[in-house]
Amino acid sequence: MSDDSAASDPNERRQSSAKDHSNVQFPWRLHELLSEAEANGKSEIISWLPDANAFKVHNKVRFTKEILPSYFNATKYKSFQ
């Protein structure tokens, strides 16, 4: 397999994505997570509240499986709280 095909594996991207965020502080990671969730149509999972001063996780199960591992070295929702 070439390097390009390995990068297209979703598990590979998830792992490298979490590593890429390792030196970024929590507030920046959270802001990026929320921005990308909105841009990628995942606002039904997590989004800013209307005043943009807070956010809400709408679906804890999907958040834990689909988003959390990409930004944080965590697999449990309690680790994020």
Burial track 31-54 (b if 16+ CB lie within 10 A, e otherwise)? eebbeebeeeebeebbbbeeeeee
% of the chain exceeding 90 in pLDDT: 53
% of the chain exceeding 70 in pLDDT: 72
pLDDT in tens, 25-53: 889 999 999 999 999 999 999 999 999 89
Given a cut of 60, whether residue 9 has pLDDT beyond it is no
DSSP letter for 77, please.
H
DSSP codes of every residue in 5-65: HHHTSHHHHHHHHHHHTTTS-HHHHHHHHHHHHHHTT-TTTEEE-TTSS-EEES-HHHIII
Q: Between 75 and 13, where is the model more confident?
A: 75
Tell me what the pLDDT averaged over the chain comes to.
80
